Structure 1
Amino acid sequence: MIQIKNLKKVFETKKQKVQAVDDVSLEIEQGEIFGVIGYSGAGKSTFIRLINRLEEPTSGSIEIHDKDITKMSASELRLKRQKIGMIFQHFNLLWSRTVFDNIAFPLEIAGAPKAKIKEKVKELIHLVGLSGKESNYPSQLSGGQKQRVGIARALANDPEVLLCDEATSALDPETTDDILDLLVSINKKLGLTIILITHEMHVIQKICHRVAVMENGKVVETGEVLDVFVRPQSKTTKRFVQQLNPLEHEQDKLKEFINQHDDSEVIKLHFIGNNAKRALISEIAKNFEVEVNILQGSIAPTQEGSYGTLYIQLNGNSNVLTDTIHYIQKAGVEVEVLKHA
């Protein structure tokens, strides 16, 4: 487990003080993929660099497996950093070294025997899907392949934690998905704790178990990804969720249905987890004397299950409409009534 308590970072110049990270406290469980999301200037990059003390905290503590790294000496920190892997947005590869030699570099620094280095590098090249590229130089690789080298290098010393600093933001969407799938695979195979920062909600949606939302150096919201998607609390979180659920922007387009003077109800349904796969509309049509008009909807997967939003119009007797809505709610689907009959 990683425990971060009251973490602060202040950058000082002659003219001003900048509070980049402001009293952040988080607990990150062993083996989970934890996302930190924020817009530019939110403090997320500084935050992740504080975890391995690439930036020195102004105050606060960072405990990794009950060891407070903020209190470690320089020599202790060097050893601890071998167990904290990090991958970067722009790869940070050594351009004069081959794929094999880039991955071997941290093992060489750690003083590993040549036989162990050869065996470990071969294993990692296979793990990240770069077999046959051992002798290539970074200039001969695609962006996705370069990031695979970066991931393999970060795993060379069998880290306890993998830090990902905007690891996919320099990649195209298809390559981004490939790298995210690789990180999920590594998380499952190795039981590795991954902390990932990003400004893309798609990344959080696809691979993270829990997420913290940062704004102006503070964590303004945290929770399981599915809960945060379905019930965002802060304005910043709602803006991120709208990136993936454009229907939230389009509710005004339903006004022609909402403002109609008839005996219909317009409702918004939230499907969560296995309920997203349920044929609920068919059940309603079979069990109740109502007409169902589907207005618009969307569905998206997360690591903890799918969630969906569906806007429907129900036409029928008011008592039957009430019974229908109760049936939907009993099915575990959240209902928001936008227009009453």
Structure 2
Amino acid sequence: MITIKGLSKIFKTNQQEVKAVDDVSINIEKGEIFGVIGYSGAGKSTFIRLINRLEEPSSGDVVINDTNITSLSVGKLRKERQKIGMIFQHFNLLWSRTVFENIAFPLEIAGIPKAERRTKVLELIELVGLKGRENSYPSQLSGGQKQRVGIARSLANDPDVLLCDEATSALDPETTDDILDLLVSINKKLNLTIIMITHEMHVIQKICHRVAVMDQGRVVEQGDVLSVFVKPQSKTAKRFVQQLSPLEHQQDELKRFITNDPNREVVKLHFIGNDAKRALISDVLRKFDIEINILQGSISPTQEGAYGTLYVELSGNKALITETIDYIQSSGVEVEVIENVN
């Protein structure tokens, strides 16, 4: 549905050239919520502005529904942009206009008749949960309500794609979750393709199906959210995953359990999907004459299923420990023997 190939953006100054986006290639399916995450300066906001040519690419192509956005004339681009909605970190509302008038603004520009405009705006107000606030001004709204106006306005022209540039980073955690829930609902109701730019792994975890990790203008890793969470490959992805995995910051607590005793092993178990809900420990204790000491554990949900991490100490005959580990692995749970903690 969206094919991005070799996309680059170079900013030139008197002294140097800065490659803000460097040869990025991504395919995004229709109806998916695709996340792009990176730290400040990674190039993610420039990248999303290249998609609808708010920034002109230095090279590369952006193809949406078989239309090459990068090759359109100014006139054709203006028309094509009506199919690409966008919401911003700081809302970008018209402060002298009411909620109703803000949402109606793109329809006015598109020349939609007044009666049809009114019907559409009222539908959108209902969709984003702002019924009763039609005549309020932005200064009378909370941050979450302002972003709901921004979302409704971005949907006014029935876009195929919604670009979200740090859409929740100005909001408190509870409001952020409300807005993310709204975006998931809109995605399902309208089969709308959403591209989320963020520096918050919580956003990726909660609503995205796939994710690309950016660092210094390049995509250093991409894949299903669950895969990236469970087995991050790049240094940047590992740092982001640690934000949501407090166990990774508490590994020093495991040191006292790690010994050279062949009859004791500390192992890390990875549970994915339905395996995260299994009573694996009880199952193992029924089958093997072994002691299990649970040291640390956590479970996290994603759009593609849950994943969990559990650190346990196995105590018993060495051969029995090996047999137990083999059994756990055969059940579909990944096992990593912890030999030291860095």
Identity %: 75
Residue 275 (structure 1) aligned with residue 268 (structure 2): no
Q: Which moved more, 1:262-271 or 1:62-71?
A: 262-271
Shift of 1:336: 0.2
Whether contact under 8 Å (2:262, 2:318) holds in the other structure is no
Which residue in the other structure is 2:150 paired with?
Answer: 150
Separation (CA, whole Å) in 2 of partners of 1:144 and 1:120: 21
Which residue in the other structure is 2:255 paired with?
Answer: 255
Amino acid of the residue matched to residue 81 of structure 2? R
**SS at structure 2 position matched to 1:237:** helix
Which residue in the other structure is 1:308 paired with?
Answer: 308
Listed as ranges, the matches of 1:40-189 within 5 Å are: 40-189=40-189
Change (3 A) 1:317 1:294: same
Separation (CA, whole Å) in 2 of partners of 1:125 and 1:182: 12
Separation (CA, whole Å) in 2 of partners of 1:180 and 1:277: 25
Which residue in the other structure is 1:338 paired with?
Answer: 338
**SS at structure 2 position matched to 1:328:** helix
Q: Which moved more, 1:247-256 or 1:276-285?
A: 247-256
Shift of 1:251: 2.0
Amino acid of the residue matched to residue 162 of structure 1? L
Separation (CA, whole Å) in 2 of partners of 1:264 and 1:5: 51
Shift of 1:331: 1.4
Cα shift readout 1:42-99 (whole Å, capped 9, x = no counterpart): 0000000000000000111000011101110111001100000000000000000000
Whether contact under 8 Å (2:272, 2:306) holds in the other structure is yes
**SS at structure 1 position matched to 2:213:** strand
Separation (CA, whole Å) in 2 of partners of 1:262 and 1:131: 66
Residue 206 (structure 1) aligned with residue 206 (structure 2): yes
Separation (CA, whole Å) in 2 of partners of 1:188 and 1:290: 47
Q: Which moved more, 1:78-87 or 1:325-334?
A: 325-334
**SS at structure 1 position matched to 2:24:** strand
**SS at structure 2 position matched to 1:129:** coil
- Hey, which bits of structure 1, 4+ residues long, moved more than 3 A? none
Separation (CA, whole Å) in 2 of partners of 1:279 and 1:137: 53
Amino acid of the residue matched to residue 47 of structure 1? F
Shift of 1:100: 0.4
Which residue in the other structure is 2:26 paired with?
Answer: 26
Amino acid of the residue matched to residue 107 of structure 1? L
Which residue in the other structure is 1:291 paired with?
Answer: 291
Separation (CA, whole Å) in 2 of partners of 1:74 and 1:183: 30
Separation (CA, whole Å) in 2 of partners of 1:186 and 1:30: 14
Q: What residue ranges of structure 1 are gaps of 5+ in the alignment?
A: none
Cα shift readout 1:249-295 (whole Å, capped 9, x = no counterpart): 22232111112636111100000011001111111111111111000
Shift of 1:319: 2.1
Shift of 1:178: 0.4
Q: What residue ranges of structure 2 are gaps of 5+ in the alignment?
A: none
Separation (CA, whole Å) in 1 of partners of 2:308 and 2:38: 23
Separation (CA, whole Å) in 1 of partners of 2:17 and 2:246: 38
Whether contact under 8 Å (2:263, 2:321) holds in the other structure is no
Q: Which moved more, 1:324-333 or 1:35-44?
A: 324-333
Shift of 1:200: 0.5
Separation (CA, whole Å) in 1 of partners of 2:189 and 2:238: 33
Separation (CA, whole Å) in 1 of partners of 2:316 and 2:278: 23
**SS at structure 1 position matched to 2:298:** strand
**SS at structure 1 position matched to 2:104:** helix
Which residue in the other structure is 1:37 paired with?
Answer: 37
Separation (CA, whole Å) in 1 of partners of 2:214 and 2:293: 39
Cα shift readout 1:194-246 (whole Å, capped 9, x = no counterpart): 00100000000000000000001000000000000000011111000000002
Q: Please report the RMSD computed on the Cα atoms of aligned residues, expressed in angstroms.
A: 1.0
Listed as ranges, the matches of 1:192-203 within 5 Å are: 192-203=192-203
Separation (CA, whole Å) in 2 of partners of 1:188 and 1:210: 16
Whether contact under 8 Å (2:102, 2:149) holds in the other structure is yes
Separation (CA, whole Å) in 2 of partners of 1:259 and 1:179: 48
Amino acid of the residue matched to residue 258 of structure 1? I
Separation (CA, whole Å) in 2 of partners of 1:331 and 1:156: 49
**SS at structure 2 position matched to 1:299:** strand
Residue 322 (structure 1) aligned with residue 294 (structure 2): no
Which residue in the other structure is 2:225 paired with?
Answer: 225
Amino acid of the residue matched to residue 214 of structure 1? M
